[in-house]
Structures are given as C-alpha cells and as structure tokens.
Structure 1
Amino acid sequence: MSLERIRRFLAGQHPPSPFLVIDPAVVTERVREFARELPHSLLFYAVKANPEPAVLRAVLAAGGGFDVAGPAEITACLAEGVAPDRLSYGNPIKKPADIAFAFDRGVREFVTDAASDLAHLAEHAPGASVTVRVLVDAPASATPFGRKFGCSPAEAAGLLRRAAELGLDPAGVAFHVGSQQADPAAWDAGIAAAAKIFAEFPFRRLNLGGGFGVTYRAPVPSLARYSAAIRASLAAHFPAGAPETALEPGRAIVAGAGLIRAEIVLVAQRGEHRWVYLDIGRYNGLAETENEAIPYRVDAGPGERGPVVIAGPTCDGDDVLYQHTPYELPLSLKAGDPVEILDAGAYTASYSSVSFNGIGPLRTYCLD
C-alpha cells in the first residue's frame, strides 16, 4: 500500500509542514493499468497535474507520453530525457512565441480549436500534426471546462480542411468530458460527434482527453468500467473500425500517489460551529476545494469526533475549505496536531501560489 510506504518514509522525520509526499511507484502502476485496460490507446500524461521530475520519470519508465501546456512543461520533460516525439502540446491557448519554442525543440503534435491559432501553427510550426478540439455537452463533472475550449463539429471539419490547405497534417479530433468525471457514459457524446466529423473528413486519431475519476470520499467507477464504456461507444459509432485513440489522464495517474502532511494552526468555537484552521489552504495547495469541488479524505487520528468547518491559514475570507460538505474530526484536536490529506498527488503542489501571505509553494518529497 502506498499510504503505508509513505508513512514508513516519514517515520522519524519531521520536516516543516505542510508538504506533499509522492510515491512514484503508484504512478508507474497507474500508467500500466491504463495500458492494460485500453491497450491500443496512446497515453499522454497531463503534466499540469503534477510536474514533479520523479513523476515524469515514472511515467516515462512505464511507456507513457506527455500532454504539455506550455514552454515550462516542455522544458521539464526534455530535462528528464523525454524525446520530443512523446510530447503533445495540448493547450489550445498559446502564444505564437510558445508555438515556435515548442517546434524549435522538436514538438510536432499540437491541439487547436480556432482559426487564428491554426494560422499561428502554420507560420511557426510548419508541417506539424494538428488535432482539433471539439466542444461536447458531457454530463456534469466536479470541475467542468464550461465553454472555454472547443469548437462545433462543423467548425472542426472546416479547421481540418484548412489545416491541410496550410500544409499542416490534419491528424485528428479531440474532446474532454471535464475533470473528475464520474459517469463512464460521458465519453459517448464526444465519440458520436467525432464519428460525424469522420464521415465528412476522415482522420486517423481520436483524442479522448482525460477526466477519469478518482475516489476521494465518494467512490467512482473503476478504470475497467470506464474503459468498457469507451470501447462500447467506439464500436457503436465506428462500426467499420475506430481511428487510433489517445488519452490525456492527469488526476487518475498521480492523485493516489500523494499524501499531504499538515498541522492544526487553531481551533475556535464560532457560534454553533467549531472551526479548525490548517496550515494549508486554498492558496498553498488545496485550490481544488474551491466550491468544495474535491472533497479530500482528511485523517486527523482517532478519538470521538464532531462536526467542523475546515479553513486555511491565510487572511483571505475565501480561504475556507469545507463549510457545506459535512466533515467530522476529533474533538480533542489542538494547535500543532498533525493532519493527513489523502489522495492529494494531483493539482495540489502545481496549483500553490508563490508567496500569498508570505507562504511559499507546497514542498514536495518523493520516495525512491
């Protein structure tokens, strides 16, 4: 068990909290699990979830590629020995200078969803492969993308044709069902849309994005259930044979590999509610508690429990983690007591601010 390995690693060590500990062995196993369940899909790990070098090395060792969102992530991957042909620039929002940076370093896979970005690609990444991202109406996820990314299927077909006219390689279509998607059937809408585009402009790769859920406090389907639903949808919408598929999981690869160790700063009774303040909050690692979207498991030890409001340490009034989601913690909690936040490997350290209230980024330690 990774939790046991991490606790053994921390035994006798007392680094200042808060901090994140990552077990790269879990990352390796999750990449291999995706390969078993969806064996004919290319995997591009979403680096934004956790760009820690040990995580990148674990993905690489397991045979994965990388979904990068900008020059810094490209540089980080190349520094760990990743070949440029294993990088996919998946962010449709990019400066022309960033496209040129990527192309100069050997990146040849790009995602787009707008004519102006396509023109920038033709100018700064001549001959590169492009995948067009489509907007789909997927079931609600914990952190949806709204309408920020993606174009209509008709626009996508037009962009693929235009890419060919510009000398680019119109490789495929992409979509994303939203992060922490709990419905295995959510991918069907995107696959159906892609099939309609394929009938008008055949392409060779369908990027299914990420979104695979992680069990925090509430269970989510197994990867086997997700993959079975995806395979069934591909068979239904592409009866003559589906294009090559690609995946961009981030959370599902690294969340379970991480544990945050924090401590109690203050316990205060405010009216009817007991408030427990941690030394970690929205701005130094727990950004995904915004709107209480991600309900982490919190372990504060044994003892009789009672309801609490959980808040972060800063002087910002929005730095409240959970006041609507019911949490119960030991009644004996006091300042200085340790707290563990489980399954915290994704979107924690990479989301923490540089120095809000003078608090530094979330420190990360990795097991060997």
Structure 2
Amino acid sequence: MENKLPCNRKYRLIPNSYVPVMLRPRKRQSDQLRPLNYRTMEVVVVEEGVKKQDIVADILNERIRRRLDESFYVLDLDDVLEKINQWKRCMPRVGLFYAVKCNSSAAILRVVAAAGCGFDVASKSEMQKALSTGVPSSRLVYSNTCKAASHLVHARRHALRLTVFDSEDELRKLHRLFPGAQVMVRLRYGDPAAAIPMSGRFGVDTATARRLLGVAWQLGLEVVGVAFHVGCGSSDPAAYVQAVAESRKVFDMRGEVGKPMRVLDIGGGFPGVLSKVAMSFPEFCAPINKALDEHFPPESGVEIMAEPGQYLVTTAQSLFTSVIGVKSEADGQEQDTYILSDGLYGACRDIATFHLQPTIRVHPAHPPASEPKKVKVTLCGPTCDSLDKLVSDFSMPEAHTGDWLELRNMGAYTNELASGFNGFPQPKTVVLVSKGHLSLIPT
C-alpha cells in the first residue's frame, strides 16, 4: 500500500527519515469477533539512525503551528518488545499472559501475540480483543473469579477453557454453563505493601481451598491448578515466594483424591509505575525463580504462568498534554495553577488516585530567551469539576499557555480508565516502531 497520512492529519516530515502509515484491521475470522480498533492511532516507522525524540519534536512543532491543543499519546512499541524479551530472560520458566485490562491498545495486543505470548482476560470484550489478534483460545486465561453468565457462555463458544474460581457458587455456575472448563482455585495471598491489594476481595485461604476443591471434584470439573495475585504494584518479591510455598500445599492436596494438578498461575503485580522498588527487575525475579525451582521443579511437569500488565507497558507510553490556561496568585490562587488539556477524568486518574509524582518535561511553544525557572504549581484538568486536580506543590520548570507537557511512564491503565467526562475526547495515539519490527503489526 502507499504510505500516506490521512487527509485530516499532516506532519512536516523529515525527508527519508520516517514514514507515517495507517494501521488497518485484520480480516475477520468470525462474525462474532470484531476487528481491533485501529482508527485512533497512527504508526510512524522509525528508520535506522533516526532519533525518536526528533520525531516527537517534529510532531509537536506541527501541532503548535496549527494551534492544536488536544492531548495525545506516543507509544513506543520497541519498548514493549524489550520488556517481553527481558521477561523471557529473567523468568524463563514462566509463560507471559499479558493483562489486557492494563492497556488494550490494538498495537500492543498485536505485538504481544506476535511475540508468542498469551493474554489474561476478564470479560467478553477483552476476549474479543485478544482473539482478534489471531491467537488461539488456548493462549488465554479467563481470570475473573465471578463471571457473568453471558460472558461465560461466550467463553465456552470460543473454547476458552482455562479459568479461576474462589466460591462454591462459581463452581456450580461453571458446572451448569461450562462443564468442560479447566479450573484453578484462586488463593488469597497478598503483598501488604502493594499499591492495590487484591486479597480483600479475591481468593480463599488454604482451608477453604481444600473444601472448594472437593466440591469441584464432586461436580466433575477438571481442576488443573492454583492461581494467586499478590496485588498491583508489588514492591517485595518475598510476597511471591511465600505465595508459591502456599500453593505447593494446595497442590499436595491432590494426593487425598488422586487428582493431579498441572498449572500454577502466579498472577501480576510485577514492577511498573505503581511500584516503589529499589532493585532491578532481574534482582526482583531471582528469589521468585528460586522458589519456583524449589517447590515446582522442572521435572514436576507443572506449567507456570503469570499475568503481568504494568510491567510491560508503563514506560512504553508518554502523554503529551497542552497547557490551555494559567491562573496565577494574582488571580486569587494559592499558587500558580496550570490547566491542562487532560486530567483526572482522562489519562491522569492514577496520578491523583495514588498520589504519584509525575515525570514531566516542558516543550515550550516558543523558544525561551533563558533557562526557565523552577516553580511550584498545581496541575488541574480541563473539566468543570473542582475535583479535577492532579497534584499541588509540584516543582517543575515554568510553563505558559500554549506550551506542551510530556508526562512519561503513562502506559498503564491510562487508556482504560479515561471516561470522556464533560465531552473531552480521549487522546489518540501515535505509535513509534523501528523498521525491523514493523512486520509484527498489520499495515
């Protein structure tokens, strides 16, 4: 196909350096599978020797020239691929099943599928998105412990058999609607220091697991293993180590009824933007691998899987939001306030919810005469809600109306939690991918 931009979006190109192309949806494989939505993204193929920051600067200059001020994402697919490769190096025995809920960008899903990984899905919609990449249902795990009947029927229709449970009611629902499912009992075990604990609502203790396994076997369900999730934004690998040891106890219960289990799902929570981890990723993984080798050695034949989300995509995506207005102390504010084109109800919910300190770079609309001074400001979103405030007393270089702010590490949950409140549009995405990786996504 001819490489060109859509008529309503033009860039000032660097000659022979990078080529923007449009993503096209793949051919439908089933009337019940909607193709992935590629309408809200553009892809820039980065030639060898071209700096990505130069491409971003060119895109920003064009928006400034045309007085465009709507926020947009820049997604670096090479970063996602590096995370996948790092995972395979650091967790060689653990299959990667990417958590779709973290960022369901069509480009990310396609790259995950092309890299031979699977998907963690929690709803009919997420099933459709994952299956539309062309992966077989055997590379999906339905990780919702309480499934709507219609979603469960959809899973059965597409032979998505692997799932989890943590209640007797769920077992009886599975027996009634999907008796051929392969089920894992979800254990309650968490990292108390995790940013989002999961143990309050999900999972059961070991004693309850014993009772539920008995019910599952009596119903004739195929019990294949154990699952746990220590919480989003885990900061301590010891939580995984202890959960692996606890899972071994549940596996040993099989001897009581002679029903062997063969799958261990160690969940998500691996370091991303929500984690406060002082160690490197290889250091974080080392004690987990040691525990897996101790309790589930390779000769045990147990398949080990995990459901990382933010680990994979946090650093891959930046948000570019414009300063649409400034309210100063002279206007009666306690401190200067920058009103941004995105906020709490858009891509920045995590910043306010978890009191994160964003990493920001200012891109001035006009070159400053001198180095901008550091100021303490309040950052607010564009809506008419007074709660639409991201941070206060935030130290950053001084900015002015019309300038752009680059917020880094915005790949996790930003797309998914945006609501469109007050009619403000969700950011579109510019995807950067090196020429050598272009074959991993459809064009």
Q: TM-score, normalized by length of structure 2?
A: 0.76
Is residue 250 of structure 2 the alignment partner of residue 192 of structure 1?
no
Instruction: Name the stretch that deviates more: 269-278 or 79-88.
Output: 269-278
Q: Of the candidates 26, 43, 55, which is equivalent to residue 8 of structure 1?
A: 55
Query: Does residue 389 of structure 2 align to residue 320 of structure 1?
Result: yes
Which residue of structure 2 aligns with residue 107 of structure 1?
A: 160
User: Which letter maps to 2:380?
Assistant: A
User: What whole-Å deviation, never above 9, does each CA across 1:93-134 have from its counterpart, x for those lacking one?
Assistant: 320111011110121111221111121112222221111111
The answer on 1:261 being equivalent to 2:320 is: yes
C-alpha separation in 2, matches of 1:83 and 1:99:
17
CA deviation map 1:238-280 (0-9, x unaligned): 5795833111001011111111110112222355422222111
Q: 1:219 to 1:177 in 2, by over 3 A?
A: closer
The equivalent residue for 1:367 is 432
1:305 equivalent to 2:363? Answer no
What is the letter of the counterpart of residue 359 of structure 2? R
- What does the per-residue CA deviation read over 1:306-331, in whole Å, with 9 as the maximum and x for residues that have no partner? 222222221223221123xx631123
* Conserved? CA contact 1:216–1:295, under 8 Å: no
The Cα RMSD (Å) is 2.4
Structure 2: any 5+ residue segments left out of the alignment?
A: 1-45, 255-259, 364-370, 434-443
- After the TM superposition, which residues 50-69 of structure 1 pair with which residues of structure 2 at under 5 Å, given as runs? 50-69=103-122
Which residue matches 2:438? Answer: none
Looking at CA atoms only, which structure, 1 or 2, has the larger radius of gyration?
2
Deviates more, 1:2-11 or 1:165-174: 2-11
Q: Distance in 2 between matches of 1:278 and 1:122?
A: 51
Q: 1:292 aligns with which of 349, 354, 357?
A: 354
Q: Partner residue of 2:396?
A: 329
The one of 254, 260, 263 aligned to 1:205: 263
Is residue 175–residue 207 contact of structure 1 (8 Å, CA) maintained in 2? yes
Q: Given the superposition, is the C-alpha separation of residues 50 and 10 from structure 1 closer, same or farther in structure 2, using an over 3 Å criterion?
A: farther
Q: How much does 1:344 deviate?
A: 0.9
Helix, strand or coil at the partner of 1:267: strand
Partner of 1:338: 404
Query: Which of 141, 146, 149 pairs up with 2:202?
Result: 149
Indicate yes or no: 2:134 matched with 1:81. yes
8 Å Cα contact 1:283-1:319 kept in structure 2: yes
With 97-106 and 155-164 compared, the bigger mean Cα shift is at: 155-164
Segment of structure 1 superposing worse, 175-184 or 140-149: 140-149
Deviations 1:121-164 (A, max 9, x none): 12222221111111114231122235121111222232233222
Question: Aligned-pair distance for 1:43?
Answer: 1.2
Percent of aligned pairs with the same amino acid: 34
Report SS of the residue matched to 1:11: helix
Amino acid across the alignment from 1:335 = T
The DSSP-based 3-state class of the residue aligned with 1:339 is strand
**Residue 246 (structure 1) aligns with:** 305
Q: By how many angstroms is 1:41 displaced?
A: 1.2
Distance 1:17 1:217, change over 3 A: farther
Describe the superposition over 1:165-206 as per-residue Cα deviations: whole angstroms up to 9, x where unpaired: 222221111111111112222212311221221222352221
Offset at 1:28? 1.9
Amino acid paired to 1:277: I
Distance in 1 of aligned mates of 2:358 and 2:226: 33
SS at match of 1:36: helix
SS at match of 2:144: coil
The answer on whether the counterparts of 2:186 and 2:203 sit within 8 Å (CA) in structure 1 is: yes
In the alignment, what sits opposite 2:71?
18
Instruction: Say whether the 8 Å CA contact 1:142–1:180 is kept in structure 2.
Output: yes
Q: Which amino acid letter does the alignment assign opposite residue 319 of structure 1? A: D
1:43 and 2:96 are equivalent in the alignment? yes
Match of 2:287 in 1: 229
- The aligned residue for residue 358 of structure 1 is 423
Q: Is the 8 A contact 2:273 2:314 kept in 1?
A: no
State which of 324, 344, 354 in structure 2 corresponds to 1:282: 344
**Residues 283-340 of structure 1, C-alpha deviations (whole Å, 9 max, x = no match):** 11112124334433121256221222222221223221123xx631123x11111000
Q: TM-score by structure 1 length? A: 0.91
- The question of whether the paired residues in 1 share the 8 Å contact of 2:190 and 2:197 is answered with no
1:6 Cα deviation after fit: 5.9
Which moves more between the two structures, 230-239 or 23-32? Answer: 230-239
Q: Does the C-alpha gap of structure 1 residues 21 and 69 become closer, same or farther in structure 2, counting only changes over 3 Å? A: same
Question: Residues 291 and 9 of structure 1: is their aligned pair in 2 closer, same or farther, counting only changes over 3 Å?
Answer: closer
C-alpha contact (below 8 Å) 2:236/2:277 kept by paired residues = no
The correspondence of residues 97-176 of structure 1 with structure 2, limited to 5 A, is 97-176=150-229
* Residues 6 and 23 in structure 1, CA contact (< 8 A), matched pair in contact too: no
- Where 1:273 maps in the other structure, the secondary structure is coil
CA contact (8 A) 1:143 1:293 kept: no
Would you say the 8 A contact 1:131–1:170 is kept in 2?
Answer: yes
